[in-house]
Amino acid sequence: MKPVFIEGIGIIFTRGRGLNKFEQALKDGWDEPTVSADGRKAYRVPKDALIDYNILKKVRRSDRFSRLAVFAACDAIHDSDLDIADLDQSSIGIIIATAFGPHATIFKVLDDIIDYGEKKVSPTTFANSIHNAAASYVASALGCTGPVMTTTQFYFSFQQALLLASSWLNEGRLKKVLVGIVDECSPAMEYICEEKLSVAHNGKMSPLSCLKRPKFVPGEGSAFFLVSQDSRKKKYGAFTEIDITGNSHGWTDVDLSIIGTNAMGGSEEVYKDILNKGIPVAAYSSIYGGFMTGNAFECAAAALMLKNQTQYASPNVDRTELWNVADKSKERELNQIQCISHNNTQKLVFIKMTK
């Protein structure tokens, strides 16, 4: 694959909005999750992170899900110093990947049907409940009239979206693509996670534990990358390989492996056979919580580390004997990092990122 260079990153997560906050979180390590009214723990995005009237005035009727995406997408553009007004607005594409879509808004539509009857559904709520509403708001907020697409693939939503972005650039269809993820953790999602997964009641996820049902705390957020094939615009390195075959053992010429330990795919046992003991291993999901599209956050972490030439300590790892864990934050030469995720059938997908 031709390198896909990262020009800008935008991110919103449990500790707020902005890449600086994310970088600080990687330095600080684990922190307590938020606690909802019914006592469930989750890494939710705080309300004050979603207040920015300059942006909100452009997306007044949007729901929380769309706002997560709009804020992260706008920040990625801002981070790149790109002035969209200077460009042909149809030359930028947008791809948003999501595992569960705006399910909290969908449940509001269902509430309307139950409470008021079939004919009294709020049209605004219904419009916001459609999966591509967030992408539409992003396009409107940025004034992008190029291709805009929303995709979903549960576990590998981000990887497939990134692969598509790479295809669009290869074809010459577009000059730049804003590719990212958004997922939301509603009370219903917290409940579903509690029923289907092994929730960490002490608030600590257990990355790299190899437990059959790893301890889990749900998370949410949005992360976007502005990417192109123009190496001159590179700010954070590049995506250089994406392997979605499921047959791969990854790469051995990398300096760090980041594992997507979101617990939804079950045990990380599958990594033990394929990870070269010489390569340090890290997992950061206990910082932002577990969700299927969280591997975009791992790529954001990798991008920061490649830029800063700094490895951030992998928090909350108990079973250090199983792995060569990157357990200390330190400056080090980092040329290539691979981000690996697995699904519930233990299929592995790899992304390689290069300085």
Residues 195-224 that bind other proteins (CB under 8 A): 195-196
Please pick, from the candidates 48, 83, 86, 171, the single residue that binds other proteins as defined by CB under 8 A.
Answer: 171
Report if residue 69 touches other proteins, rule: CB under 8 A: no
Shortest Cβ 352–other proteins spacing (Å)? 16
Query: How far apart, in whole angstroms, are the C-alpha atoms of residue 177 and residue 166?
Result: 9
> Do the beta carbons of residue 220 and residue 139 sit within 8 Å?
no
Shortest Cβ 156–other proteins spacing (Å)? 8
Element (H, E) at 129: helix 123-129
Nearer to other proteins, 85 or 114 (CB): 114
Report if residue 163 touches other proteins, rule: CB under 8 A: yes
Tally of CB atoms within 10 A around 305: 27
In this structure, what are the phi and psi dihedrals at residue 168, rounded to the nearest 5 degrees? -60, -40
Report if residue 173 touches other proteins, rule: CB under 8 A: yes
Q: Which stretch binds other proteins (CB under 8 A): 4-12, 29-37, 89-97, 209-217?
A: 89-97
Residue 173 CA: distances (Å) to CA of 138, 149, 166: 20, 14, 10
Report the C-alpha dihedral over residues 264, 270, 276, 281, rounded to 10 degrees.
Answer: 20
Q: Which stretch binds other proteins (CB under 8 A): 188-196, 281-289, 293-301, 309-317?
A: 188-196
Report if residue 154 touches other proteins, rule: CB under 8 A: yes
Query: How far apart, in whole angstroms, are the C-alpha atoms of residue 182 and residue 21?
Result: 18
Please pick, from the candidates 24, 143, 201, 253, the single residue that binds other proteins as defined by CB under 8 A.
Answer: 143
Query: How far apart, in whole angstroms, are the C-alpha atoms of residue 331 and residue 187?
Result: 40
Report if residue 150 touches other proteins, rule: CB under 8 A: yes
Query: How far apart, in whole angstroms, are the C-alpha atoms of residue 58 and residue 232?
Result: 31
**# binding residues, other proteins (CB under 8 A):** 71
Which among 236, 184, 309 has a CA at the least distance from the CA of 4? 236
Nearer to other proteins, 235 or 347 (CB): 347
Report if residue 37 touches other proteins, rule: CB under 8 A: no
Report if residue 322 touches other proteins, rule: CB under 8 A: no
Which are the contacts of 141, defined by CB distance < 8 A and separation ≥ 6?
55, 58, 59, 70, 73, 74
Nearer to other proteins, 16 or 187 (CB): 187
Residues 261-300 that bind other proteins (CB under 8 A): none
Shortest Cβ 341–other proteins spacing (Å)? 14
In this structure, what are the phi and psi dihedrals at residue 310, rounded to the nearest 5 degrees? -135, 135
Report if residue 61 touches other proteins, rule: CB under 8 A: yes
Query: How far apart, in whole angstroms, are the C-alpha atoms of residue 313 and residue 283?
Result: 9
Shortest Cβ 44–other proteins spacing (Å)? 18
Nearer to other proteins, 51 or 110 (CB): 110
Report the C-alpha dihedral over residues 64, 66, 67, 73, rounded to 10 degrees.
Answer: 150
Residues 299-318 that bind other proteins (CB under 8 A): none
Residues 91-110 that bind other proteins (CB under 8 A): 94, 98, 100-101, 103, 106-107, 109-110
Please pick, from the candidates 135, 254, 306, 353, the single residue that binds other proteins as defined by CB under 8 A.
Answer: 135
Helix runs in 40-93, H state only: 53-56, 64-80
Shortest Cβ 307–other proteins spacing (Å)? 27
Query: How far apart, in whole angstroms, are the C-alpha atoms of residue 208 and residue 273?
Result: 13
Report if residue 167 touches other proteins, rule: CB under 8 A: yes
With H, G, I as helix, E, B as strand and everything else as coil, classify residue 302: helix
Report if residue 87 touches other proteins, rule: CB under 8 A: no
Binding mask 105-134 for other proteins (x = CB under 8 A): -xx-xxxxxx--xxxxxxx--xxxxxxxx-
